[in-house]
Structure 1
Amino acid sequence: MSLFPTYNRFPLTIVSGKGTTVTDDQGKDYLDFVSGIAVCNLGHRPPEVQEALEEQLNQVWHVSNLYQIPVQEEAANLLCDASELDYAFFCNSGAEANEAAIKLARKHTGREKIITFKQSFHGRTFATMSATGQEKIHEGFGSLLPTFEYFPYNDVQKIEEVHDGHVAAIMVEVIQGEGGVVPGTKEFLKTVEDKCRELGALLIIDEVQTGIGRTGKAFAYQHHGLDPDIVTAAKGLGSGFPVGAMLGKAELKDSFTAGSHGSTFGGNPLASTAVKATLEKIFVSDFLEAVTEKGTVFKDKLEDSLARFNSVKEIRGKGLMLGISISGEAIQIVHSLREKGLLAVVAGPNVLRLLPPLTVEYGEMDQAVALITEAIQQHEDSLQKA
């Protein structure tokens, strides 16, 4: 095998998918409650996106960003309208979007320090790894960029105590995804915003996992009435096509002029077509209201079904981004569920993470609840001993 072993792969090869169902190379079907880790928000091979991409494939695949790309402008308009921000920059991933946000914040403010939070995750490039508040992500790479400071998440007092004129930005997730599906409290998030205004720093919200309808709003910060300066997005943005975006306020425009940043592939015709077709489906009030309703029903049914297990500590999250906190290793539940025909992932060692497509049907959620209940029942004794 000629691949670096950078992933702990499951013994599973998926060869086809449609909607919420995927099929492996042995012909076995699975309910996919991973969605490529919150990527396939419209399910696998959504017809609207597939048709748009097929049409674009017959026109032109790639041109340089030195030329006008009309579909890129259309995709940017959809993002800016939904976020109430003013400008978009397209790249290839969430990490690249966060890199762009870090560069823009430092260039615009003329400052270097950026506050992030413990157990955050912002990417694996050198800057975004340095921004990430998890030691396991840092190990083995030597000295990190020295301009990041990690604060405890959801600690209002610690943020209120910041009095530092060197802070360029505070970068925060509304719900910490990789950190355990931990929602920020409204008080905490508003305190972060207020502190940015007090310090003259920028508020950067990382919506790579929470954005594009995942929580029942176009972006998760909209649940709390926040007013970010910069928002980053990726994952669900292109229905599986690799694309990311950074969005910013109008006053940041002159800090990101020609030559200050760029991306060869960012927002090329194929990527922008995927974005446009995806957002035209998701950024519709009826669709987002349905996500909210599904999320409420799914969480309620999980709570009802799992209440009898001592190993289940909490079910948390928003919309169709849910985490089941358990007392033992969650990975054993993931393996058990895979054998039963349901795909899920962990978020840290003790959280089972569920990220179904936003198009998931109620019957599919019922099947998932039954399988999760069965798996936890089977492992209840070992989970309680952990």
Structure 2
Amino acid sequence: MSAPVLDSNPVVSKSAPPIRASHRRMGFWLAIAAIAVAGTVPFLISDYDLFNLSRVGAVAIGVASLNLLTGFSGQVSLGQGATFGIGGYAAMMTMRFLEWPVGLALLAAVIVGAVVGLVIGLPAVRMGGFNLGLLTIVIAALFPVLLYRFSDFTGGQAGVTLVAPAFPSPTESLTDAQWQYLVVLGLLVLTIVFLDRLVGRRTARALALIRASRILAAANGVDVERVKLQLFVISSALAAFGGAVFAFVLGLVVPESYPLIFSITLLVASVVGGSRSWIGAVLGAAMVVFLPSFASSVIPGESSAYLAQLAFAVVLGVCVIVAPDGIAGGVRRVNASIRRTLRARRQSRPAIHPTTHREEPR
């Protein structure tokens, strides 16, 4: 069939209740407010801070792609960092050596990421579970080794650099850092909107069946392997897209940027931020970018890297115990608890009826 299985499933699709218009949902207006506030940031902080926020936006795309895979389809991948790096190398090399424009370079990264996801996903989806994690972690471990092995093609330790900014400002009223931040913000918003539409209510119900039980999902008409492969390919394409944006922000790609620990860090960011929340992807990306900087400010030198890894482990442990659904899930749960408490208080108040005065007969 050419149409996605999730859209044609009679059990999952036809039984779904109508979705409220997005403009009626509070979350829609909160998102609009957050985007409006984020749009004013370039005019309030320095270019260096904007550079860091641009890094956060690029990493958030990669974490969001992992959220799609882990949080919504129940697949654990430890190779997302490698796909992130593949996208960065694909975009940088096509732009530097083939002199492609930024748009085509980003498209090349997406296509390469999708192909990589298809090649890895075909055997990985069938294995599933623990075996899937083992396969992807092997790929993440081999990726930097291959970059050094084929140094004539990848640049080896020197990597690939750009001779000019990838996102130069088109006007003198904005600096390159301000324009770059706005571009990255726009790409992040588009990615989140795409993912939110992808896992709409009907699709989310099918994915819930897959996470619960493959047998239950198949019994309800869901082609489990096909759906998982589709999401694996889309997730890989988006991870490569985020890697390309990240490479353009930095202006270079080097093998040291994509070790095995980077893939693990992305997974930790997904869990801590909230693997089923797109806002959680941004929170997790902020931790990835700012936690090492904080560690280096506390303990300068090489020891800061070990402190950052220790901090990641502590944050992950605390999050698993206190907020299993991540920071975003914890905030959502607290908000729901407060609303239930207020609703219960309103319902427990005694009804006040207006007193009617009757005129006594004379």
TM-score bucket (shorter structure) = under 0.3
- TM (normalized to structure 2)? 0.27
TM-score (norm 1): 0.26
The structure richer in strand per residue is 1
Structure with higher Rg: it is 2
**Higher relative CO (CA 8 A, sep ≥ 6), structure 1 or 2?**
2
Between Structure 1 and Structure 2, the one with more helix by share is 2
